Amino acid sequence: MWGMGSIVLASPMLRRLREEYPGARIDFLTLSENTALLRLISDVDRRVTLDLGGGIARFLVSTVLTVWRLRGERYDLLFDLEFFTRFSALFSALVNPRRSHGFSAKGNWRGRLHDVEVPFNAYHHVALNFLTLMRRDPMDPIDDAEIRVETSLSRLEPDEQSWQACHQELLSDPAWREGRPIVVVNPNAGDMALERRWPLESVSVFLRDLCSQSSVNAVVTGSPAEADYVRAVVEASGVGDRIIDLSGRVDIPAFVALLGHADAVVTNDSGPLHLAAAAGASTVALFGPETPRLYGPLLSRVGQRHEVHYRHLACSPCMFVHDNKVLSCWFAQARCMTGISPAEVLHSVDALLAERESSDP
């Protein structure tokens, strides 16, 4: 319901549903802010949204009206893909499907609102946990080979108009040089855990070195709400005249189109990482408070590569699903992120660019 990254990671489950029940109608409920992304996922027949943008009162009215409407559908099967929020479990119960499956954990009553309680396994990838929801018996063994194939993610493919809109924004920027490789950098992380961000000092040094050593188009991105932070990163780099700042300037389909055209994407552990993976981009992913065991990038095309930087500190990870993702860092600043050096990230980017160049005809 909440995160774009989790919607992308649900795509293997949605594809399996489509394969096993080709005659079924698949509806997907999420927040209205995720609608543009959901339109890019082909295995969904109908999109249902709740509006959180107009304040609590509007959200409550939207929820009541949506519950009333969905009760009339009398769904045969409902999957609650949220890990810990009780809201989605209550919503599922009020919709009154014939059968519902949802995640459960000891000491958390949300699972008791579902007909089938499925333990959320923090040692399994999130995409694998979603697939486990489909099991008639959740205690059956499950093999992570199901998500380790070269096309485990459904490909996100915006229309040509989305790329054209993004390309026009790029062309209008004085730093853009047509024909050069594109390196996209996402210095942001969701508001739920800003500690997942690579420190401003590190990403700014990386951008400075990237621009001084490589003939690339360095493109930084972010939502409108993140534009001020992105601007501060660019200013701190000292090479702002070499960087294209697209934060707040393109919509989700255009952003996904940019990721699909990128030669490399550098990003913190956040939703854009999974959007990039599903768009077919090779990525350099930075993990710290959370673990790539749960949220590591998957593949959507043959030949795609992901370079993951994770320090494996004794205190990592320190954010857990069943603690509502509340950070419990041992230090004033997360050493798992400060310990990732700009030089090693630049080395990974150079390797991806070299591989891409050697594979071009």
Q: What is the DSSP string of 93-137?
A: HHH--S-EEEEEBTTBGGGGGSSEEEE--TTS-HHHHHHHHT-SS
Domain membership flag for residue 301: yes
Asked whether residue 67 falls in the same domain as residue 128, the answer is yes
Q: How far apart are CA 264 and CA 254, in angstroms?
A: 17
Task: Name all contacts of 349-353 with Cβ < 8 Å and 24+ positions apart.
Answer: 349/183, 349/210, 349/214, 349/264, 349/266, 349/284, 350/214, 351/307, 352/263, 352/264, 352/282, 352/284, 352/305, 352/307, 353/181, 353/183, 353/214, 353/216, 353/263, 353/264
Asked whether residue 90 falls in the same domain as residue 177, the answer is no
Asked whether residue 196 falls in the same domain as residue 107, the answer is no
Q: How much is the average pLDDT of 67-72?
A: 96
Query: Based on the number of CB atoms within 10 Å of its own CB, is 98 exposed (0-12), middle (13-18) or buried (19 or more)?
Result: exposed
Q: How much is the average pLDDT of 229-250?
A: 97
pLDDT digits (tens, 9 = 90+) for 13-33: 999 999 999 999 999 999 999
DSSP letters, 200-242, are HHHHHHHHHHHHHH---EEEE---GGGHHHHHHHHHHHT-GGG
Those residues whose C-beta lies under 8 Å from the C-beta of residue 93, and which sit 6 or more positions away, are 100, 113, 114
Domain membership flag for residue 144: no
Asked whether residue 134 falls in the same domain as residue 227, the answer is no
- Has residue 321 got a pLDDT over 90? no
Asked whether residue 274 falls in the same domain as residue 217, the answer is yes
At 252, which CATH number? 3.40.50.2000
Domain membership flag for residue 275: yes
Show the domain range for 330: 160-359
pTM beyond 0.75? yes
End-of-domain residue from the set 68, 103, 138: 138
End-of-domain residue from the set 138, 170, 202: 138
How much is the pLDDT for 4?
A: 93
- How many folded domains does the chain comprise? 2
Domain membership flag for residue 149: no
Asked whether residue 123 falls in the same domain as residue 171, the answer is no
Q: How far apart are CA 2 and CA 17, in angstroms?
A: 21
Domain membership flag for residue 329: yes
Domain membership flag for residue 154: no
Asked whether residue 83 falls in the same domain as residue 175, the answer is no
Asked whether residue 169 falls in the same domain as residue 315, the answer is yes
**What integer best gives the mean pLDDT of the chain?**
92
Asked whether residue 303 falls in the same domain as residue 227, the answer is yes
How much is the pLDDT for 324?
A: 60
- Has residue 148 got a pLDDT over 90? no
Q: How much is the average pLDDT of 208-212?
A: 96
- Has residue 63 got a pLDDT over 90? yes
Asked whether residue 103 falls in the same domain as residue 183, the answer is no
Domain membership flag for residue 204: yes
- Has residue 323 got a pLDDT over 70? no
- Has residue 284 got a pLDDT over 80? yes
DSSP letters, 61-96, are HHHHHHHHHHHTT--S-EEE--SS-HHHHHHHHHH-
Query: Based on the number of CB atoms within 10 Å of its own CB, is 295 exposed (0-12), middle (13-18) or buried (19 or more)?
Result: buried
Asked whether residue 215 falls in the same domain as residue 262, the answer is yes
